[in-house]
Amino acid sequence: MSQEQIAVADMQCWVFRKAQSKWNLSPQKCMELFQKYDLLGFIAECYGLLHVSGYQHALDEVENILRSKGVTI
């Protein structure tokens, strides 16, 4: 893996774990949301912009995506 791939995976893991904790979801339920809305793909695609704002900003953006899709978290 390249350094960038490792950094992307790190951000994906961090955002997933923070989302799971903040939303009080089991790992399975949280992964269902992440898969249904391709949130890991979003993080990977937008990593160049997200990493300069920090991991909390990435989680905020994930929450914005879900809200825009009508998901209540």
Once rounded to an integer, what is the mean pLDDT over residues 31-45?
A: 98
* Burial call 33-42: b when 16+ CB within 10 Å, e when fewer: bbeebebbeb
Domain coordinates of the chain in residue numbers?
3-68
- The radius of gyration of the chain from alpha carbons, rounded to an integer in Å, stands at 12
How far the first Cα of the chain sits from its last, in Å, is 33
73, pLDDT greater than 90:
no
pLDDT in tens, 6-27: 999 999 999 999 999 999 999 9
pLDDT in tens, 42-64: 999 999 999 899 899 999 999 99
pTM, 2 dp: 0.92
CB 51, CB 7: distance < 8 Å: yes
Which among 58, 48, 67 has a CA at the least distance from the CA of 11? 58
